[in-house]
Amino acid sequence: MSRFYITTPIYYVNDAPHIGHAYTTVTADAVARWHRLLGDDTLLLTGTDEHGLKVQRAAEENGVTPIEQADVTSKRFRDVWDEIDVAYDQFIRTTESRHHHAVQELLTRAKDNGYIEKGSYAGYYCVSCEAYYTESDLVDGNCPVHERPVEWFEEENYFFKLSALEDELTDWLNSNTVFPDGKRNEALGIVKLGLEDVSITRTSIDWGVQVPWDDDHVFYVWYDALINYATAAGFGSDEAEFDKWWPEAHHIIGKDILRFHCVYWPAMLIAAGLQPPKEIHVHGFLLLGGKKLSKTGLTQIAPADLVADFGVDGFRYHFLRDVSFGPDSEFSYEGMVARYNSDLANTLGNLLSRVTTVVAKKCDGIGPAPQLDSPLAAVAAESYRTAADAWARVQPSVALEAIWNLLRETNAYLEQHEPWKLPEGSDEVKTVLGNALEVLRLAAILSSPALTRAGEAIWAAIGLEGSPLDQRLPDAAAWGGYPGGLSVTKGQPLFPRLKVDNGS
């Protein structure tokens, strides 16, 4: 059995989740769901990043301890992921004892291998990024990401000898590991400009993982946080599990954390004598009015606000279909309504309604089997090939467009043959409706990584037992799987049309 390990970034617990977090997490969840359909042994990891100065200050502002702050906000993330049907296998918190042990073990290995040594550091620091910047990085003296003033920090630290690993990082980046190509080139550019050793500990705070060889230091939050991916795979606690999962590690991240994930993280692993991740997929920002969705910029939108209007499937479908993975994308409520009405209400929902209605009128409610040499069979085969390739490349929008092309072709096929006008019980009407029912069967399966609820409704409406999630690809995508002779029922509209009226 093949294995597939996919991770989201872990999210800071200084505030509530917004749709930028949800986009990344739904993407990882949908990719994991596709691999489960393939029969792969799949592990989906998400979680929360709970150490560092940012969290400590947020706790102080809220009049609570850092762990109390982390407990409340970590639960908010779990609640939102449950609300939008994120089927994670593990939710890691960096305050867990297993993670502390893994951090100490991995960085001790790097130290023992000669890659960590003591020194002193002075530089500009952005608390929101939890990152140091050089003066040339700043924009008008502000953090280039958050556009807020930075602080000057000086303290004794332990340093990771990143500069010693330029050749190893170049080889790893050239081995087809970071996607899309533009992001890999960006990471290569960082390495080619020359790498400086980086500070990995702090003495100015104590909210972090203790450095095992020096009680006066805690590990800087980024180097603690990155190790969560190894912790969840079993590093430091179950080496057999780690050996099983780690060779199949795939990370999904936003472009703002590319340097840490595509340069620092593989270097840390190499320094500890471990294998870097198999692949890292980097996406752009969700923008609102041209600005990145963020807590500090006050452009956040809570997922619950959109789920209330569009439902879970409408929410998930929009971000997977309308947001191309890789470049920045502008969020628009009106655009979300348009996509919902076009693809979900008019194309998929209308197809199900048409077919079930005509089966009731022309076939006494019993669904006929499809025609094995149907003209739709070739369209279905091509849609599956395109979708499978797109999911493998973490391109959900391309995969869903391929599936919806099959649905549009099927609606056109019905318009051409007009089964509602054909004689009741005739061979011709059975052929047309059987072909359409087969497409609905395929749609229930192939759309399920995005539409976690509609597929079940379609499956039941066309009389199939069990669940589309029980099917296994590629066999289940072969044309002719609908057996015929099943009771077909017409229910409520799957996706009622929406209107934009006074902002609603």
Q: What is the CATH number of the domain that holds 420?
A: 1.10.730.10
The enclosing H or E element of 333 equals: helix 333-339
Are residues 296 and 356 located together in one domain of the fold?
A: no
Catalytic residue among 99, 100, 111, 129: 129
If you average pLDDT over residues 317-345, what whole number do you get? Answer: 95
Same domain, 423 and 337: yes
* Residue with the larger pLDDT of the pair 127 and 84: 84
* Mean pLDDT rounded to a whole number for the chain: 94
Do 273 and 393 share a structural domain? no
Give the pLDDT score at 503: 46
pLDDT (0 to 100) of residue 434: 98
319 and 293 Cβ atoms separated by less than 8 Å: no
Sheet holding 329-330, edge to edge: 291-292, 286-288, 329-330
**The pLDDT value given to residue 502:** 47
* 262 counts as catalytic: no
Kindly state whether residues 300 and 388 are assigned to the same domain.
Answer: no
Domain count, the chain: 2
Using DSSP, state whether 289 is helix, strand or coil.
coil
Residue pair 333/347 in contact by the 8 Å Cβ criterion: no
Whether residue 89 is found in the same domain as residue 165: yes
| Catalytic entry in 99, 100, 146, 261 | 146
Catalytic residue among 54, 126, 283, 363: 126
Query: Active-site residue among 18, 183, 261, 362?
Result: 18
Q: What does DSSP say about strands 286-288 and 291-292: parallel, antiparallel, or unpaired?
A: antiparallel
To the query of whether residue 146 is one of the catalytic residues in this protein, the response is yes
HEC readout, 454-467: HHHHHHHHCCCCCC
One domain, residues 382 and 298: no
Task: Given the residues 183, 250, 261, 295, select the one marked as catalytic.
Answer: 295
499 domain-assigned: no
Residues 87 and 191 in one domain: yes
One-letter amino acid for residue 319 of the chain: F
Selecting among 51, 100, 111, 143, the annotated active-site residue is 143
Indicate whether 496 belongs to any domain. Answer: no
Same domain, 422 and 462: yes
Contact 147, 159 (CB under 8 A): no
398 CB burial (10 A radius; 0-12, 13-18, 19+) = middle
Which of 51, 292, 318, 430 is an active site residue? 292
295 catalytic per annotation: yes
- What is the tens place of the pLDDT at every residue in 397-430? 999 999 999 999 999 999 999 999 999 999 999 9
User: Among residues 183, 181, 187, 182, which one has the least CA distance to residue 169?
Assistant: 187
For residue 298, name the pLDDT band (cuts at 50, 70, 90): very low
**Do 336 and 378 fall into the same domain?**
yes
The reply to whether 246 and 372 lie within a common domain is no
**322 lies in a domain?**
no
Instruction: Among 256, 286, 305, give the residue marking a domain's end.
Output: 305
Rounded mean pLDDT of 279-308?
80
Residues 156 and 19 in one domain: yes
Tell me whether residue 326 is in a domain: no
What's residue 294's pLDDT?
A: 61
**Per the domain annotation, does 188 fall within a domain?**
yes
Catalytic-residue membership of 21: yes
Mean pLDDT of 298-325: 91
126 as an active site residue: the answer is: yes
Last residue of a domain, one of 305, 340, 370: 305
In-domain check, residue 181: yes
CA–CA distances in Å: residue 1 to residues 30, 123, 244, 245, 470? 20, 49, 11, 12, 16
Boundaries of domain holding 205: 3-305
CATH of the domain at 293: 3.40.50.620
Q: Is residue 320 part of a domain?
A: no
Please write the tens of the pLDDT for every residue from 30-47: 999 999 999 999 999 999
493 within some domain? no
Considering the domain architecture, whether residues 299 and 344 belong to the same structural domain is answered as no
